[in-house]
Chains A and B, each alone.
Chain A
Amino acid sequence: MSQRHPVLTMTAISKIFPGVRALDGVDFRLFPGEVHALMGENGAGKSTLIKVLTGVYGTDAGTVTLDGARVSFTGPMQATAAGVSTVYQEVNLLPNLSVAENIFIGREPRRLGVVDWRAMRRRATELLARIDLHIDVTELLGSYSLAVQQMVAIARAVDVRARVLILDEPTSSLDADEVAQLLRIMRQLRDDGIAILFVTHFLDQVYGIADRITVLRNGRLVGEWPTAELPQLALVEKMIGKELDALESIDADAGNDPEAVAAGPPLVTAEGLGRTGSVAPFSLTIHQGEVVGLAGLLGSGRTEVARLFFGADRADQGQLTVDGTPTTIRNPVAAIDRNIAFCSENRRTEGLVGELTVRENIILAMQAARGWLRPVPRRRQDELVQRWIEALSIRPANPDLPVRNLSGGNQQKVLLARWLITEPRLLILDEPTRGIDIGAKTEIQRLVVKLADGGMAVLFISAELEEVLRLSHRVAVMRDRQMVTQLTNDDTLDADRVMNAIASGGHEEGAPA
């Protein structure tokens, strides 16, 4: 490989956002005719790197060279013109136009200024035939499946004479057959000499197609390896990292013994619960006073499981039992009625209303549960809000401040307070500690332990394995949208065993609880 020259080299790239060093001296190179997987957990800096490359962001330091010449794109259009095309997870095409037009719009073949439809159709058909896609190019793009749309996007991308093709999570919403077809196309393009940067969360796909892997973590380069030299377990370790945790240790076992809780009355039981295209059927029981952790890489289906429990997505198979009564949870309101609360992963867009005050945000769920015709009296509001601001030490302790002015950790606490007011029996926490400082993190972890001691069942989702292990009585492991195993958190369970389960799909450890 030494005599080959990389088509693209990024050297010592740094990118700083206010308060965050999103990329810190990252190197990346891409050879012609290879598929190079860019791996890393959420916040590792993958998207930032791609955006720097395609000119969406400028760099704070570092250089990008394309074919030996230094480049600095001012936007995706310029990058595309230079031969660096990107296909995003959400297909950025036009569903209301025909397939042919989606490939050629903006550079339609014309005769005397008039769009030459016949030539456009012929060329589109030829182009798609090259990637072995035989469809009617005059049909609307929207009438085809997402997979086909994705392939059309790729066809458009490579037809502008791309030398570098960036595929940003192209497979996340495709089914197995569609993925196989997409990977086949990728191989073909690779053999044609195109350099492909592939971002995905699916380990199988990485090992199925990638020639090389670059791993990022927390904005830093962890390393670059040929795929053959990096076993799955090593990859998972490098992605998640085993940092020495600066947090005070919290002994979950001091509260409840895993065996004892598991023997207690089950609160919620899922049997074969699943949703096509979202998460494969799984069975999971959560007992009163039990913390069940969901471990797995980003995109492995952790959030999807939580959404099924909360009715944010409707399960299309399986049965959910709450308190021994089989139930169908059609929507979040039904879940709230059954005392299930869900702190979403995305507190800015799904949870909190930034313009409303701390008080209003805290009261929101309770008000929704009561119905809008019965407003919560102001005195009671003040009382409740005050109590929770103190209990969770929300700072600044001013209930009339708009929530968006609070720090991430405090926003998270406001969201928690909102749900705790409704006195839930099952609390679902999706990444409650992501992006918040260590102090707030510890407080939230302590709170989880305390709530479980008080008999609340908690479904705890976190990308940080250490945290999951510290808090959970039981750990359910997700991989590629399947719940592969459930491990009881006794003395023998450590991060290695969980990582092993994530990497191997639980085959060695397969002992469902």
Chain B
Amino acid sequence: MTTTPLAARADRAWWRVPPRHVPVLATLALLLVMYGVGVSQYRAFSNVQVVFNIFIDNGFLLVVAVGMTFVILTGGIDLSVGSVVAMTAMVSASLLRSGLPPALVLLIALLIGPTLGFAMGCVIHFFDIQPFIVTLAGMFFARGMCTWISASSIPITDGFWTTMAQERIRIGESFVSISVLIAVAVVLLAAFVLAYTRLGRNVYAIGGNPQSALLMGLPVARTKIAVYTISGLCSAIGGIMLSFYTLSGAPLIAVGMELDVIAAVVIGGTLLTGGSGYVFGTVLGVLVLGVIQTLITFDGTLNSWWTKIVIGGLLFAFILLQRLVGIRKK
């Protein structure tokens, strides 16, 4: 639950943290520690622009991770996101090159992801096939489509796209890109849907126990298909944002991105088995990934592969933490 009333807190000692909040708080603590380290080591780190840059560089990752949060909350997984991101960027770039108006291109590009997600959701639900396999197939399909469209990268020169890429929105001394605003909007909308709509609550219910959810009369089929569609839509938005960011469509971009996304969601405290987690946690998870990258960039001597090593270690630690919290609850 995102809202905890004061009345309930009253008879609970203020320092006692409900177990379900432990993973998110752990991520928050980790993020603060890492940021503190950065600030103490590098003078320029304390500049607000550093934080904004993390959002600018990872906005599309954040949006895709929000979609993944829905899927993982139901206990599923979506491996197709990286490929769908790339496919969306490719389709946009190639349609723009062929001269279609940007508005139409946007519409088409935004429809592809949810359509594929809807199809995968249907296969997963009606044929009762593991999400892992179905979305793996989706991943290969979308990646194949990328190379089918073009084996090499397609540059984007469209005016609308370049505006979106270059427009800077000033906040005090610093600035953010339009993509950051899109990401923030997606995050807020997703958090609202999960906390305050029946769809959102059903997502948690299915993740808790699909059998019980069915017996309680909840629309399991509709909800399951919806989460993959939402994930597809988020990937499509992410793909558009990536094409804003790179001003091109490349067939081999965002390879392995699904793994970063899953890592961000899990580090953000969402249980891989489903039923517990928050969009806010996912934001923190993405920020942790971003801060690690930034720290390594600031250091300058470390190879960028260190990012992966650190993420690997963190992921391991967080899965253990979830397990321990789970055991203590029993």
A residues apposed to B, CB below 8 Å: 76-77, 80, 92-98, 101, 105-106, 108, 110, 113-115, 117-118, 121, 136-140, 142-143, 156
In the complex, the answer to whether A106 meets B209 with C-beta atoms within 8 Å is no
Contact assessment for A138 and B1 in the assembled complex, using a CB-CB cutoff below 8 Å: yes
Contact between A106 and B3 (Cβ–Cβ < 8 Å)? no
Given known contacts A108-B198, A117-B3, is B216 in contact with A96 (CB within 8 Å)? no
B4 and A138 contacting across the interface, CB-CB below 8 Å: yes
| Chain A to chain B contacts (Cβ below 8 Å), 6 pairs | A106-B218, A108-B201, A115-B196, A117-B3, A118-B5, A136-B8
Query: B217 to chain A: which residues have CB within 8 Å?
Result: 77, 80, 106
Q: Closest 6 A-B residue pairs measured CB to CB?
A: A94-B208, A96-B275, A96-B208, A138-B8, A92-B212, A77-B217
Kindly provide the distance from the CB of A89 to the nearest chain B CB, expressed in whole angstroms.
Answer: 13
The interface bits of chain B over 196-218 (1 if a CB of A lies within 8 angstroms of the residue's CB, else 0) are: 11100110110111011101111
- Structural contact, B201 and A92, CB atoms closer than 8 A: no
Beta-carbon contact of A105 and B218 below 8 Å: yes
What total of chain B residues lie within 8 Å of the partner, measured CB to CB? 31
Known: A108-B198, A114-B196. A93 touches B216 (CB 8 A): yes
Q: Which of A108, A115, A121, A156 contacts B5 (CB 8 A)?
A: A121
Interchain CA distance A57-B143 in the complex, whole Å: 46
Q: How far is the CA of A117 from the CA of B197 in the complex (A)?
A: 11
Bound CA span A143–B8, Å: 15
Given A92-B216, A114-B196, A140-B20, check contact A97 B3 (CB 8 Å). no
Q: Report the Cα distance A93→B204, complex, angstroms.
A: 12
| Interface residue? B276 (CB, 8 A) | yes
Given the interface contacts A94-B209, A96-B207, A138-B5, does A113 sit within 8 Å of B329 by beta carbon?
no
B212–A94 touching, CB < 8 Å: yes
Q: How many A-B pairs with Cβ below 8 Å?
A: 79
Q: How far is the CB of A141 from chain B (nearest CB, A)?
A: 9
CA distance A319 to B293 in the complex (A): 59
* Alpha-carbon gap, A77 to B220, bound state (A): 13
Q: What residues on B are CB-neighbors of A139 within 8 Å?
A: 8, 18
Q: Is the CB of B329 within 8 A of A143?
A: yes
Query: Which B residue sits closest to A118, measured CB to CB?
Result: B5
B11 at the interface (CB under 8 A from A): yes
Chain B hits for A136, CB < 8 A = 8, 11-12
Task: Give per-residue flags for B272-294: 1 if the beta carbon is below 8 A from chain A beta carbons, else 0.
Answer: 00011000000000000000000
Q: Which of B1-24 contact A (CB under 8 A)?
A: 1, 3-5, 8, 11-12, 18-20
B215–A76 touching, CB < 8 Å: yes
From A96, A110, A115, residue with most partner B Cβ within 10 Å: A96
Closest CB-CB distance, B98 to chain A, in whole Å?
A: 41
From B201, B211, B275, B276, A115 is in contact (CB under 8 Å) with B201
Q: A288 CA to B100 CA in the complex, in Å?
A: 90
- Are B201 and A105 neighbours in the complex by a CB distance under 8 Å? yes
- Is the CB–CB distance between B5 and A93 below 8 Å? no
Contact A105 to B205, CB < 8 A, known contacts A92-B216, A139-B8? yes
A-B contacts besides A96-B208, A98-B1, A139-B18, 13 pairs, CB < 8 Å: A92-B216, A95-B209, A96-B20, A97-B201, A97-B208, A106-B198, A106-B202, A110-B198, A117-B3, A117-B5, A118-B5, A139-B8, A143-B329
Q: Is the CB of A142 within 8 A of B329?
A: yes
A94 to B275, Cβ gap below 8 A? yes
Nearest chain-B residue to A136 (Cβ)? B8
Q: Which residues of B contact A105 (CB under 8 A)?
A: 201-202, 205, 216, 218
- Cα(A482)–Cα(B197), bound, Å: 49
Residue with the greatest number of chain A CB neighbours at <10 A, chosen from B3, B11, B201, B275: B201
Chain B residue with minimal CB distance to A91?
A: B212
Closest chain A CB from B45 CB (angstroms):
38
Contacts of B4 in A (CB 8 A): 138
Q: Closest chain B residue to A142 by CB distance? A: B329
Complexed CA–CA distance, A174 and B4 (Å): 30
Given contacts A92-B211, A96-B276, A138-B8, contact A115 B216 (CB under 8 A): no
